[in-house]
Amino acid sequence: MRGVVVVTGVAVVGIVATIGAGAVALIQRDHAADAAAYTSVSCNASLGPMTTGRVGSGAADAANLEPDQLSTVATIISIGKQRDLPPRAWQIAIQAGMTESGLRPLNHGDRDSLGIFQMRPSMGWGSPAEVVDPEYAVNKFYDVLLSVPNWDQQRPGDSAQDVERSAFPDRYHRWEAMATHLIGDLGKVVNASGCGPDVGRILPAPTKSAGEAIRFALSQQGKPYQWGALTTHQNSFDCSSLMLQAYRDGGVSLPRTSREQWRAGAYLPVEKAQPGDLLFWAHDTSDPATIHHVAMYLGDGKMVEAQQNGVPVHIRPVKWTEGGLMDYAVRPGV
């Protein structure tokens, strides 16, 4: 872990003290204010606890934890509950701790890094005795997490990285499924994100409905694009009317617009999309309200879409790095 980053703003309450030359600023937080600000996290079905690993991977990884590791998880959850922090905060701490130390209060690490989160005393995280103390370390992690702007509005592993400032930012995502399982199992939390039963669901294999939807969409190739096309005929299509009619042919009802269709199924990471899943594009990928396009994934890096005026329904390649592509695909009917 690198130095503590303190971001000032309305969410940060307390005093700042300087400790020696080159030391970072420390915050003494008002935990009651934290609780008032974060007890209720707004629902966004693409956020919060998620299962992004292979089917059953979260439970399988959790089953491999030793008693001392589970004790650390229990401490993270217990302190999170005491501070009235939402389960998303627990998840971020579990993912960070598993990545940094395997959820153990280590007395060694890179340079002077110590403890569950590999905090560095030389960078102002606390004394060596403090940072190896699980209770201190967990509270300090939460303190810094709550000073990160929009920590609760992004993927948990990204928030872990904002606290840890690792040279390998993507590694925190590895333990997402396990952390989700643990907050449900040890934390006794049902539907932790508050967004309904489809959030975090382990998704099934492609369905019969998806197969029928693909067949329908492919049979419309060459037909013209028309914005606001009627959904009672197949003379022309816009992006969402093609998806609506395709899934209607498969026995699944979808709402009319692409923004509404974003909420019409179960979510999975876009790079794990399977044939029949819906892909979405937005002007701002952090805000589903800006979604403006939807297409159907066909597998093998290809999709079918009704794109825009002058372009008929067609198949084209898709790359997961495309600008505006949302991070999650949607599987209708589950």
238-266 residue pLDDT tens: 999 999 999 999 999 999 999 999 999 88
Q: What is the pTM of this model?
A: 0.50
Of 185, 219, 234, which residue constitutes the final position of a domain?
185
Of 185, 220, 250, which residue constitutes the final position of a domain?
185
**Are residues 2 and 100 in contact, defined by beta-carbon separation less than 8 angstroms?**
no
Higher pLDDT, 12 or 161: 161
Helix, strand, coil percentages for the chain (3-state, nearest 5): 40, 15, 50
E strands, the chain, are 16-17, 26-27, 265-269, 278-282, 291-299, 302-305, 314-317, 328-332
pLDDT(19) > 60: no
CA–chain centroid gap for 312, Å, is: 34
- 170 and 223 together in one domain: no
**Are residues 88 and 187 in contact, defined by beta-carbon separation less than 8 angstroms?**
no
Q: What is the pLDDT of residue 20?
A: 31
pLDDT band at 83 (very low <50, low <70, confident <90, very high): very high
Mean pLDDT highest for which of 85-99, 162-176, 193-207? Answer: 85-99
Catalytic residues: 239, 293, 305
Domain range for 112 is 16-185
CATH number assigned to the domain comprising residue 286: 3.90.1720.10
Q: What is the pLDDT of residue 1?
A: 58
- 223 and 326 together in one domain: yes
Residue 203 belongs to a domain: no
To the nearest 10 degrees (0 to 180), the angle between helices 176-185 and 67-82 is 70
pLDDT(334) > 80: no
- 215 and 177 together in one domain: no
Total domains present in the chain: 2
Q: Which amino acid is at 294?
A: V
